[in-house]
Structure 1
Amino acid sequence: MRGRPVFILAALLAFSPWVTAQEPAEAPTAGAPEEQSSSNVSPQSEAPREDYYRAEFVILERKVDPADVNEKMASRVPEPPDPDITEILRAVDRNGVVETTRKLVSRDQLYLSSAANRLENSGRFRILLATGWYQSFPPNFEGEPLRVAIGDWLPDAGHREVEGHITIDRQRYLHVGVHLNHWEPLPDKEIMQASGTVDSQGDATVSADEEAEQTQDTLANIAEGGDIQGTNQPELSGEAWPKAQLVTWIRETRRMRSEEVHFLDSPTIGVLVFFKKIEQ
């Protein structure tokens, strides 16, 4: 994506000294999960500790005016959230209630904590999530997608500013797939048009169902993130999708070894990933 080298360079310069950061304790503590986590925790601590790791993720937002982003994503419509995803890394509802299915460790226990602190203290980035957990990732492990819903709440859209999912698989190496969308509110007129209430002149328009029948774009094209021709959008899952404007997204799978820090990014959001092998 255009704008990526500047973002990567700024981030690397911001946290380059952290490579000498002191390691936290290698064994998971007996304390409670992350302070804001719900009690909905999977029994992962009972899993066999073969190829046992601490997985760490820092998701950050670059403080930049979306109008200054070279990537023009407003005409793209990602696929809607998959209702079959039940595993959750961190999801915050409209009332601020946090849900997770991982027994998360606190930010200060992370190897990446000093990197997150430096980025935040620079004033150029906002840390949306900094957490980790302990889990076995044996060879041929196929992980379920972990839902992410963080950042500001967008009332008209009915979801968070950054949403998507992350997957972790293991063949010979660990493979991390990041699938995140970064949204901003639609202008008021566009919200009304998306819901089928008024047209650009303020007159009554056809329903969302009728708009869906008139559009020339196929669901397959939308699912692949194709460009939308015109302003009509098909109705998905009974609601006009989306009711927010896409700023940027991350669609990347990265192969990595433990003890390596990887940075996956778009011009406005980024993800730091680190795996620490835990010797039993």
Structure 2
Amino acid sequence: MTATRLFSYALILIVLSYNIQAFADNESSSQPSTWYSIEYLIFENKSLSNQTLEPWTSAAFKIPDNAIRLSNVSSNTAFKPLAPNQQQLYGVYNRLEKLSSYTPIAHAGWVQPLQQKGERKPVQISHQTGPLQLEGTLTFHRGRFLHLDIDLQLSEMNSLAITQTNLSQRFHEPVTLYRLTETRRIKTDESHYFDHPRFGILAIVKKIDSPN
């Protein structure tokens, strides 16, 4: 059994052991005014960090011009950060922190009204943990069904030490870029796992009352 497959099985067990109460949701009956919360947890797979993996891209990630930056939303923007008391993945986050094979990189979320496919706006994702830098977008929208689009790039930085005139300076140089892109039909109130050999993402989408 490959290391990647073992990694996937381990994550499934972690998620299943953390009991998230689910409720049925008829996604086909959603209306444009329906509101949703989207929560995500992104983590590094350290068990493969010492293995040679093919870089998945050589180009730096370019944020789309229409991407929404949650840390700088205006009062007239419908998208808002998800409040801590609305987040459900703290239990999974704490479990991953205690395991030597994983390192949580980012845990956050947002709320938004439902977007039709032609109107969709991506949410910018930007986090850094030590030598790992994460850039990308998550896009929740509806075509015929509900979908979540994942487009994330993990930059693994190489820390180098330079001594010059008895001064020690440290700088980071990007050595490897990994890209995860996927579009998936999703159901609400269920955890969805997006897999990459180097990192992974858990996401939960819930229908909520309008915050207005």
TM score, norm. by length of structure 2: 0.72
Identical-residue share of aligned pairs (%) = 24
**Counterpart check, 1:176 vs 2:148:** yes
- Taking the aligned partners of 1:247 and 1:138, their CA distance within structure 2 comes to 30
Shift of the 105–138 alpha-carbon distance from structure 1 to 2, 3 Å rule, reads: closer
Alignment check: 8 A CA contact 1:141 1:170 kept: no
Q: Per-residue displacement from partner, 1:73-99 (whole Å, max 9, x unpaired)?
A: 17x41354236254124xxxxxxxxx3
- Taking the aligned partners of 1:135 and 1:108, their CA distance within structure 2 comes to 17
Higher strand residue share? 2
Q: Aligned residue for 2:109?
A: 132
Q: Aligned residue for 1:245?
A: 175
Alignment check: 8 A CA contact 1:146 1:166 kept: yes
1:162-241 to 2 correspondences below 5 Å: 162-186=134-158
Q: CA deviation at 1:64?
A: 3.4
**Counterpart check, 1:54 vs 2:49:** no
**Counterpart check, 1:73 vs 2:50:** no
AA aligned to 2:8 is: I
- Taking the aligned partners of 2:137 and 2:117, their CA distance within structure 1 comes to 20
Q: Aligned residue for 1:261?
A: 191
Q: CA deviation at 1:150?
A: 0.9
Q: Aligned residue for 2:99?
A: 122
AA aligned to 2:202 is: L
Q: CA deviation at 1:264?
A: 0.5
1:63 aligned residue (30, 46, 52): 46
Q: Aligned residue for 2:123?
A: 146
Alignment check: 8 A CA contact 1:183 1:245 kept: yes
- Taking the aligned partners of 1:262 and 1:83, their CA distance within structure 2 comes to 24
Shift of the 100–130 alpha-carbon distance from structure 1 to 2, 3 Å rule, reads: farther
Alignment length (residue pairs): 186
Shift of the 182–62 alpha-carbon distance from structure 1 to 2, 3 Å rule, reads: same
2:63 aligned residue (42, 67, 82): 82
Q: CA deviation at 1:186?
A: 4.7
Q: CA deviation at 1:152?
A: 3.0
1:20-35 to 2 correspondences below 5 Å: 20=20
Gaps of 5+ in 1: 24-47, 90-98, 155-159, 189-242
- Taking the aligned partners of 1:148 and 1:104, their CA distance within structure 2 comes to 12
Q: CA deviation at 1:128?
A: 1.9
Q: CA deviation at 1:256?
A: 0.6
The Cα RMSD (Å) is: 3.1
- Taking the aligned partners of 1:245 and 1:121, their CA distance within structure 2 comes to 27
Shift of the 252–4 alpha-carbon distance from structure 1 to 2, 3 Å rule, reads: farther
AA aligned to 1:251 is: T
- Taking the aligned partners of 1:51 and 1:22, their CA distance within structure 2 comes to 18
Runs of 4+ in 1 over 4 A off after TM superposition: 20-23, 138-141
- Taking the aligned partners of 2:99 and 2:66, their CA distance within structure 1 comes to 35
Q: Per-residue displacement from partner, 1:124-173 (whole Å, max 9, x unpaired)?
A: 3222222222221155463212221212366xxxxx61112222221132
- Taking the aligned partners of 2:101 and 2:16, their CA distance within structure 1 comes to 15
Q: CA deviation at 1:13?
A: 1.4
Alignment check: 8 A CA contact 1:119 1:125 kept: yes
Alignment check: 8 A CA contact 1:107 1:130 kept: no
- Taking the aligned partners of 1:58 and 1:117, their CA distance within structure 2 comes to 11
Shift of the 83–18 alpha-carbon distance from structure 1 to 2, 3 Å rule, reads: closer
**Counterpart check, 1:19 vs 2:1:** no
